[in-house]
Chains A and B, each alone.
Chain A
C-alpha cells in the first residue's frame, strides 16, 4: 500500500512556556495510506483535531517531521505550505464553516479564488459539483437559508472544488441527525470509490464503524492508543 502521509515523532505544544501550556500531541508517529479511509477516534481533548490539522498542513509541529508523498514539508515556508494544502487537501469542518451572506455557489468557489483560475470555468465546475450532490437548485441561495443537509453537501462540494487527493473531515456528523450522518457516509463511500483518500476525526460510531473505513486510529491524551 502507498504511504501518502507520514508523521514521525510529532509533538504539538500550544502556549509553550506559558502557565497555560498544553501538549496536544505527544510523540505520535503514523502513516496514512493513499486511497483509503482512516478514522481518528477518541474522546474530546484526545488530540484528534490537532492531529488532523498537522496531517492537513494546517499547523506545524513543535517537533518531529511530516512528509507528504515522501516530500518533507515541515520546514516549508507558509506560502508553499498553503499551496500544498490548497492543491492536496479538501476540508470539511465540524460546523461546516460556510461563509454567511454569500451564495452556496460562491461558497464552493472560495477555495479556488487564489489559484487564479478563470472565473467562468470555476463557476461552471462549482455548479457541476453542486449538481453532483443534488443541491444545484440551491446554487444561488444564501447559505444561511439552507437546511442542515444542504449545508453539509455544500461544504463537501467546497472541499472538492480544487480536486484534492485527500479529504479531511473533522467530526463531520457532530451536528447531523442519524439519517444525514448516514447520507454523509454514503457520499464518503462514493468519494473513496473515486480514489480519494479520506481522513476523518470522529467519536461517532456511524463513522468509525462504517464499512468504508479501512483503519481506525484510537487516541487518548495526545497519544495513539491503538491502530486497527
Chain B
C-alpha cells in the first residue's frame, strides 16, 4: 500500500514536471504520435488486405493446372482431365476458360471468365464493381467487346458483383462459354486451365508431382502458393512503404534522442535538489521512468488510435495507392479491422521500451551525484 502511495506521489510530481516543460514535451509527443501513426497505418492496412485476400481465396480451388509450351502459358486440352482424374486422391477436375482483355478506350485490363455454375445466358455478363465504376455501367446496360476478328460483341450486364469481393474481383467479367469463344477464338476441346479438387489437402504436393510426371507440359499451382504470393506482395509493399518512411523515423530518433536524453542544467539542478531533500537514486529513476513512460505510452496509444481511424474510417488516404496497387481499376472495399497482438507488441517494444530506457540512462548519471552537490552550488 505504501509502495502504491509512493508511486502515486511520484507520478503526480512527474506529471506536473512534464507540464512545466510543455513546449518541449508537446512537440515530442506530436512527432512521436505521428511516427507511430504512420507505422501502425502500414501495419493495419497490410494485415487487413492480407486477411481480405485470404478470405476471398478461401473459396478458391485447391489446385490449378496450366499447360506450358516452351515456357509460356497455352490452352490445355480437355483430354488431360481424364488422366488427372485417374490419379488416386483426386476428387474432381473441372475446366476453366478465362483470359485478359485490354480495353483500349479506358486503358484498363479486365479478366474475362466463363462461369458454368452461374448459368449465365449467352449475350449476358456479370461484372465486378471496379469494371462498373470504370465504365460508369449499370445493370441492364451493354458493354462492347472487340473480338479476335475485329468485330464487336455487345454483351448485356445481368448483374454487378458486390463490393466486398472487390479486392480480387474488381476487374472481373463473367460470361458464357459461347461468348468467350467468340471473343477469344479458343479452340474446341481446350481450356485455359483445369482446377483439381483433392480429398486430402496433405496429398496436394504428391498429386501435383504425379501430374507433372504424367503430363510433363503442365504446371500445377496450389492455392497455398497463391496465398503466399499475396502475402509476399503485400508484405513487400508494406516493407517498401516503411522503407520510404525510414527517413522520418531517423529524424524522429535523432530528435527524440536529443530531447529525451539531454538533461538541461535546470533538470540537473532539480535532480540535485530532490536528492538533497531525501529522494533516493531509485526514486529519481522511477520518476524518469514514469516520465518516459507517460510520453511514449500516450504517443503510442494516440498513434494507434489515429491509425485505426485512418485505415478503417477513412479510406486509408495516405497509403491506399501504394498498398492496394497502381491500376486504373482501384479496388474499393471496406477493410475488416485486423488487430494482431503480435504487431501491436512488436510496435510497442520497438518504440515505447527504447524511448523509456533512453530517458532513464542520462537521469541515472545525474541521479548518482552526491546529494551535497546542491549545497555546494
Residues on A close to B: CB < 8 A?
49-50, 52-53, 58-59, 78-79, 82-83, 85-86, 91, 93-94, 97, 99-102, 106, 109-119, 122, 158, 162, 170
Q: Is the CB of B12 within 8 A of A114?
A: no
Residues of chain B within 8 A (CB-CB) of A50 are: 372, 376
Q: How far is the CA of A101 from the CA of B19 in the complex (A)?
A: 9
Q: Is the CB of A122 within 8 A of B9?
A: yes
- Name the CB-closest residue of B to A86: B278
Residues of chain A within 8 A (CB-CB) of B13 are: 102, 106, 110, 113
Partner of B5, one of A93, A109, A119, A162: A119
Q: Is the CB of A116 within 8 A of B374?
A: no
> Which of B96-104, B268-276, B306-314, B334-342 sits within the interface?
B268-276
Residues of chain B within 8 A (CB-CB) of A106 are: 13, 16
Known: A102-B16, A113-B13, A119-B8. A97 touches B371 (CB 8 A): no
Q: How far is the CA of A84 from the CA of B20 in the complex (A)?
A: 31
Instruction: Given contact pairs A91-B277, A113-B10, enumerate 20 new A-B contacts (beta carbons under 8 Å).
Output: A52-B375, A58-B375, A78-B281, A82-B278, A82-B279, A85-B278, A85-B371, A86-B277, A97-B276, A97-B374, A102-B13, A113-B9, A114-B6, A114-B9, A114-B10, A116-B2, A116-B3, A116-B9, A119-B5, A122-B9
- Name the CB-closest residue of B to A79: B280
Known: A93-B276, A114-B6. A100 touches B20 (CB 8 A): yes
- Name the CB-closest residue of B to A14: B376
Q: Which of chain B's residues 335-377 have a Cβ closer than 8 Å to chain A?
A: 370-372, 374-376
Q: How far is the CA of A119 from the CA of B6 in the complex (A)?
A: 9
- Is B283 engaged at the interface, CB distance under 8 Å to the other chain? yes
Residues on B close to A: CB < 8 A?
1-6, 8-10, 12-13, 16-17, 19-21, 266, 269-270, 273-274, 276-283, 370-372, 374-376
Question: Which of B6, B278, B283 is the most central at the interface, judged by chain A CB atoms within 10 Å of its CB?
Answer: B278
Q: How far is the CA of A79 from the CA of B19 in the complex (A)?
A: 29
Q: Is the CB of A59 within 8 A of B371?
A: yes
Q: How far is the CA of A112 from the CA of B283 in the complex (A)?
A: 12
Residues of chain A within 8 A (CB-CB) of B280 are: 78-79, 82, 114
Q: How far is the CA of A31 from the CA of B339 in the complex (A)?
A: 68
Q: How far is the CA of A110 from the CA of B266 in the complex (A)?
A: 17
Q: Is the interface of A mostly helix, strand, loop or mixed?
A: helix
Residues of chain A within 8 A (CB-CB) of B5 are: 116-119
Q: Is the CB of B16 within 8 A of A58?
A: no
Q: Is the CB of B6 within 8 A of A102?
A: no
Q: Is the CB of B276 within 8 A of A162?
A: no
- Name the CB-closest residue of B to A54: B372
- Name the CB-closest residue of A to B10: A113
Q: Is the CB of B277 within 8 A of A111?
A: yes
Known: A91-B276, A117-B5. A58 touches B10 (CB 8 A): no
Q: Is the CB of A114 within 8 A of B8?
A: no
Min C-beta distance of B273 to chain A, whole Å: 5
Min C-beta distance of B20 to chain A, whole Å: 3
Partner of A49, one of B2, B10, B376: B376
Q: Is the CB of B375 within 8 A of A49?
A: yes
Of the A-B pairs whose beta carbons lie under 8 Å apart in the complex, a sample of 19, sorted by A's number, is: A50-B372, A53-B372, A59-B371, A82-B371, A94-B375, A99-B270, A99-B273, A101-B20, A102-B16, A106-B13, A109-B9, A111-B279, A113-B12, A113-B13, A116-B2, A117-B5, A119-B9, A119-B12, A158-B277
Min C-beta distance of A203 to chain B, whole Å: 16
